[in-house]
Structure 1
Amino acid sequence: MSGDAVKGVAAVAPPRPRRQALPPLARFLIRRVLVAVLLAWGVTVVTFVLTNLVPGDPVAANLGQRAMSDPEIVAQWRAEHGLDKPLWEQYGMYLQGLVQGDLGDSQQSHRPVSQDLAEAVPATLELAGAAILVSLVLGVAFGVIAALRRDRLSDHLLRLVSLVGISVPTFWLALVAFYVFFYRLRLTPGSGRVDPALGAPPPVTGLHTVDALLAGQWDVFGSAVGHLITPALVLALYTIGLLTRFTRSAVLEVLGQDYVRAARAKGLPERVVLFRYVLRSALVPVITVAGLAFGSLLSGTVLVESIFAWPGIGQYAFKSATTLDLPAVMGVGLVVGVVYLVINLIVDVLYGVIDPRVRLR
């Protein structure tokens, strides 16, 4: 074959198929996961540094003044807990243990911090999960009703309810609810997560309601739900008010868009217009508020847990901070930071699923 023929064959040869690029949603998720990993490392740095900058001497808080007068005991305690080493070396030891799943030992309970948190976090997660579920259902429903009935009596009433929910202090509401519904009316059970006579269900997830269902213990399930109702509603009231106002504002903004008017002009049923066009666009800011609210519920339940004797992460963090239990304080800070990162990651994923414009940027 001549050289010209070979060139001709090469000229008409089909180009090699290009490697198919990842879908936009996959690229979006990969970027968010990488950012979350970097932020998680930043959380460890901030948690470690801030914990070690807390004023006070952990040696005095844990040993007491009598033991502090003996230099040998103090030196032994510092060496045992690594406090005699430079700060950067302590951080290296902390990271090394963290990679192995070791958060250190609590100086108060004398148990691994991971074991303490494994018992406290599910309790708070159950309480905050119930509160955010009630908040989403009622807050979004109230906000949509208020927007669709703008400037009518129902709109004014719902806005008043949301204003009250945002304004009332949560700890005061918890005290009033406990006094009225338990002490005076006997409508709800007392403190704790389950009746002491029944006992906790066999631990599987740490969530008493779920574990009771898995074990088929319906009496324990009823008791766990009864104990959960009052503190969950107390925590949910603020978030309901917040979501009501944000949902109303978002729905009103979407209702004035051209594509909503065009959908109505086509003769589509109002139900289709509401769920397919209005709510889908209005959910983006609502999801943001709900994610932040859930994170704050997980990390800010100290007073409610104290009033209802709920053995969650709030009580554990309070006791650790008052006794300068540094490993426990760092463990709580790390858990709270990771919770916010996971929630933000979930919110970003929901952004990409609901609004295609987000994942194409």
Structure 2
Amino acid sequence: MTTVAVRRQAQRRRSPLVGYLLRRIGTSLLLLVGVTIVTFALTNLVPGDPVSAALGEGASQNPETRAAFIKAQGLDQPLFVQYFIYMGNLLRGDLGTSLVTGRPVTSDLATAVPATIEIAIGAIILSLAVSVVLGTLAAYRRGLVTDQVIRIVTLIGLSVPTFWLALVSFYVFFLELRIAPGSGRISPSITPPPRITGLYTVDYLLNGDGVGFADALAHLALPVMVLSLVTIGLLTRFIRTSVLEVLGSDYVRAARAKGLPAMRVILDYVLRGASLPILTVVGVAFGSLLSGTVLVESVFAWPGLGTYAYNSAANLDLPGIMGVGLVVGFIYLLINFVVDLLYGVLDPRVRIA
């Protein structure tokens, strides 16, 4: 076989995954444009006067000051013109200036997003590790006491309000027992690390600061625990259902009939077969953690995306609101893209179809 033929054959083998990847990228780009349209439209439909919110009641009553602000912000243009101005600025990486902080929205988000990512990653890792064990155990012990106990515990975890759990955890572990640090990302006596990734634990490690890393990790403990308890309940119940479906498959029965060790059957056959639906739920849960931490961040004074979104909405900060909406939409699109990509890698039927 010639070299050209070998290359063509290799390209044909790679083409299904490459084509699948290109289709997902194109779809994601179209959806991202749709996110900008929806975010812009909903933001401009919010009731209230952004001029009064930005300038205050006193300054907004001055006609000259009001007119100058409206012209500077482009609020005197039709909505479709404002949208194209917004898209032009967006393509240049300019999300505008926050009416609350007075800083560029990109700078505010560059600080807030890593803070939320840090607790979301910790929560999803802990949740997945615990849920895989509990869900698999419940499936193998279906109908027995172990299964019933795990189902009751997960139901309680899903039923408890997150904000209540955050308040109770803060009161018990910080105010009463004094075994957890207070609010914020680090203690007041600790100097923030030089910015590399924005994730304090990672930045402290990269700078070789063990004391700072330990303090940042301690401050992560309570928010991560609160977010994990709810997510564990969701993932455990879903993993149990997925594992139960796989346990009845012919290839699992064949593996057991061969006398393979139980642990190998679980890891190589059961969990691998149940990985695709589990992956979908993990992606959705991770997206929810990144975009739905407002109450938890408020309780623990965590300067993340949820806190920034609340402050922007409360003060009618339109650039800030649109920036948050765009980031949340991009996060969900990115997570869905990664999940779809992993689908194509794990299951050849997906990329061929």
Question: How far 1:148 moved relative to its partner?
Answer: 1.1
Instruction: Specify the alignment match of 2:41 in structure 1.
Output: 49
Instruction: Specify the alignment match of 2:83 in structure 1.
Output: 91
1:43-68: per-residue Cα shift (whole Å, max 9, x none)?
11111111011111101112222223
Is the CA contact 1:106–1:328 (under 8 Å) kept in the aligned structure 2? yes
Match of 1:139 among 131, 139, 143: 131
Does 2:226 match 1:234? Answer: yes
Does 2:15 match 1:23? Answer: yes
Question: How far 1:140 moved relative to its partner?
Answer: 1.3
Instruction: Specify the alignment match of 1:80 in structure 2.
Output: 72
SS of the residue corresponding to residue 199 of structure 1 reads coil
SS of the residue corresponding to residue 274 of structure 2 reads helix
Instruction: Specify the alignment match of 2:178 in structure 1.
Output: 186
Q: Distance in 1 between matches of 2:141 and 2:23?
A: 41
SS of the residue corresponding to residue 164 of structure 1 reads helix
Is the CA contact 1:104–1:112 (under 8 Å) kept in the aligned structure 2? yes
Match of 1:354 among 342, 346, 351: 346
Of 222-231 and 260-269, deviating more is: 260-269
Of 250-259 and 21-30, deviating more is: 21-30
Match of 1:160 among 152, 172, 187: 152
Give the TM-score, by structure 2 length. Answer: 0.95
Structure 2 unmatched ranges of 5 or more? none
Q: Distance in 2 between matches of 1:300 and 1:165?
A: 17
Q: Distance in 2 between matches of 1:51 and 1:161?
A: 40
Q: Distance in 1 between matches of 2:277 and 2:249?
A: 16
Instruction: Specify the alignment match of 1:105 in structure 2.
Output: 97
Instruction: Specify the alignment match of 2:320 in structure 1.
Output: 328
Match of 2:117 among 111, 125, 136: 125
Match of 2:163 among 171, 177, 180: 171
Letter in 2 for 1:324: L
Letter in 2 for 1:141: V
Question: How far 1:359 moved relative to its partner?
Answer: 1.7
Instruction: Specify the alignment match of 1:13 in structure 2.
Output: none
Q: Distance in 2 between matches of 1:215 and 1:258?
A: 52
SS of the residue corresponding to residue 109 of structure 2 reads helix
Q: Distance in 2 between matches of 1:196 and 1:154?
A: 45
Once superposed, what is the RMSD of the aligned Cα atoms?
1.5
Instruction: Specify the alignment match of 1:264 in structure 2.
Output: 256
Question: How far 1:354 moved relative to its partner?
Answer: 1.9
1:111-141: per-residue Cα shift (whole Å, max 9, x none)?
1000000000000000111011111101111
Structure 1 unmatched ranges of 5 or more? 1-15
Letter in 1 for 2:235: L
Instruction: Specify the alignment match of 1:312 in structure 2.
Output: 304
Match of 1:195 among 151, 162, 187: 187
Question: How far 1:343 moved relative to its partner?
Answer: 0.4
1:199-221: per-residue Cα shift (whole Å, max 9, x none)?
21111111000000011110110
Instruction: Specify the alignment match of 2:246 in structure 1.
Output: 254
Does 2:203 match 1:211? Answer: yes
Question: How far 1:355 moved relative to its partner?
Answer: 2.0
Give the TM-score, by structure 1 length. Answer: 0.93
Instruction: Specify the alignment match of 2:279 in structure 1.
Output: 287
Q: Distance in 1 between matches of 2:349 and 2:23?
A: 16
Q: Distance in 2 between matches of 1:138 and 1:29?
A: 32
SS of the residue corresponding to residue 141 of structure 1 reads helix
SS of the residue corresponding to residue 84 of structure 1 reads coil
Is the CA contact 1:173–1:234 (under 8 Å) kept in the aligned structure 2? yes
Q: Distance in 2 between matches of 1:114 and 1:88?
A: 23
1:70-98: per-residue Cα shift (whole Å, max 9, x none)?
21111101011110111111111111111
Is the CA contact 1:139–1:240 (under 8 Å) kept in the aligned structure 2? yes
SS of the residue corresponding to residue 183 of structure 2 reads coil
- Rg bigger for which structure? 1
Letter in 1 for 2:84: G
